[in-house]
Structure formats: structure tokens, C-alpha cells
Amino acid sequence: MRRRVAIAQIAMHWTTQENVAAIGNAMVTAHARGVALCGFSELAITGFHREIAREAQPEIVEPAVRVLQAQAARLNLGIAVGAPTFQTQGSPFNSHLLIDELGTTVAVVPKRGLTEPEGTFFARGASRPVGVLQGLRCSAVICREVGDLDQVVTDLPPGSTDLIFVPGALRQDPDKPRTDPPEYVRDIQRLAAATRAFVMQTNWPNALNRPEESVDGGGSTVAGPDGELLFRLPGQASGVAVFDLGDRVYEWHPQ
């Protein structure tokens, strides 16, 4: 099950237009290096910041998704990318879209584990579907859902997926002693071992609402199906990491 894959640990911007341009550039970088599948972070299309209500509008998001679907098809590149998704009535979902190499959205994973502030704007998801990207069965566990192992394993029992994306902005708990690696990395390892899947985290490298929190940004983590920590990406750095799934080394391409 060798696949050339990438993590786009790229900087967050305030507008959908800026974010889509950065996503497109990362896709071109990945494609040029033979990548089949590229992961992006939580709400990568809009950014996840205090202007989310301004950006999370169907007339802004849906054309942006179509642009990325078309580019995925042109490049024959599967992507996993975060975006708001919309209901006929009610609040939007904070979702992760699995868009295959034909440009088709094959699964939409809505975030279930909302924080209290997130719950004032987003609706809570109730499913965790699996979609096939480049022959790999994929799903997503969004940000701090990674700590809810029992629920995730109920949704994704061992052997049901090959690759799980963990998009988000995970950081050390400031109220607890600092550890190396952080506890959330251990959660990623436990998730990989429990589901017997590769787990590929994409952590935002920067924070816009509170720039001082960028000190804990980046450091995206990859774990193998046995729970082994394969590697972590640089902290506070924007770039695209390219590697063969299962390897312990990667190529780093700053963005």
C-alpha cells in the first residue's frame, strides 16, 4: 500500500480567496513531486478565526470548493480539505471534504466534537463516513475529537480505514505541565493503533486570533497502524511535506 502523499501545513489567512490561492499553490507543489493525495487543515478554505461568520457563506464557500474540485481533477490529485458545509435550514457544519482524483467529493465528515465557542456557530455532526481517495479508504477525525477514542473506534472500527486525517490546531494544554511529545501526539498514536490505520495530522502553523499561540503551531504528526510515531513536521513553519506513506523521512518544501 505504498502511496506518495503530502501534508500541506500552510499558513492560515483571513479570507477564503487568500486561502484557496495558498491551497492551489500547495496542490501544484505536491503534484510536481509525484504526490497522489494531499491533506489540508481544519476549515482550510475559509480559515478558522474570528471572521468565520463573514467567510462561512454558501456564496463564498461553494464556488471555492468547485475551484479546488476542478484543480484536483486536472492534477489527478486527491485532497482532504476543511470547509463549512450548509444545511437547508440551521447552522453550518465544520466539515472535512474528501475530494478524489476525479474532482468528486466522495465523503463529507462533519465535526462532532465541538468546543463551546464552536457550538455557538456550527451545528454538531453525527456521522463519520469513509471515502476512497486514490484507492485508500479514508476518513477524518477533526482536531480535539482525537481524544475521544471510544467514539472514533465505534465509528471507524479496526480494518475499516487505511488512512485517517486529523486536521486542526492542536496545542499543548496551557494548564498542564509541558511534555515532549505533547499529549495530543500520544492521542494520535493511540488512534492509529486502535483503528490499525495510518494517521496523518495537519496542524495549522499559525494562529490569527491570538498570534502568540503560533509558538505551538505546526509540528504535524504522522503515525503508523501499529501506533509508531513516524515523524513530526517543523513547528511554526509553513510548507508542504512530501513522503511515501509509511516512511520515517519526508521532503520539506517551504511555502
Q: Are 25 and 220 in contact (CB under 8 A)?
A: no
Rg (CA), the chain: 16
More confident: 155 or 3: 155
Question: 111-129, pLDDT tens digit by residue?
Answer: 999 999 999 999 999 999 9
* Structure confidence at residue 245 as a pLDDT band (50, 70, 90): very high
* Structure confidence at residue 180 as a pLDDT band (50, 70, 90): confident
The three-point CA angle 162-190-203 to 5° equals 75
Q: Which of 219, 238, 237, 239 is nearest to 229 (CA)?
A: 219
Whole-number Å distance between alpha carbons of 224 and 188? 10
* Structure confidence at residue 233 as a pLDDT band (50, 70, 90): very high
Task: Establish whether the linkage from the previous residue to 181 is cis, with ω within 30° of 0.
Answer: yes
What value does the mean pLDDT take over residues 87-96?
A: 96
Residue 169 has pLDDT above 60, yes or no: yes
CATH of 4-254, one of 3.90.1170.50, 3.40.50.300, 1.25.40.10, 3.60.110.10: 3.60.110.10
Question: 133-142, pLDDT tens digit by residue?
Answer: 999 999 999 9
Q: Give the pLDDT score at 1.
A: 56
Q: Give the pLDDT score at 177.
A: 85
What value does the mean pLDDT take over residues 192-214?
A: 96
* Structure confidence at residue 62 as a pLDDT band (50, 70, 90): very high
Residue 232 has pLDDT above 90, yes or no: yes
Whole-number Å distance between alpha carbons of 235 and 220? 8
What value does the mean pLDDT take over residues 189-197?
A: 98
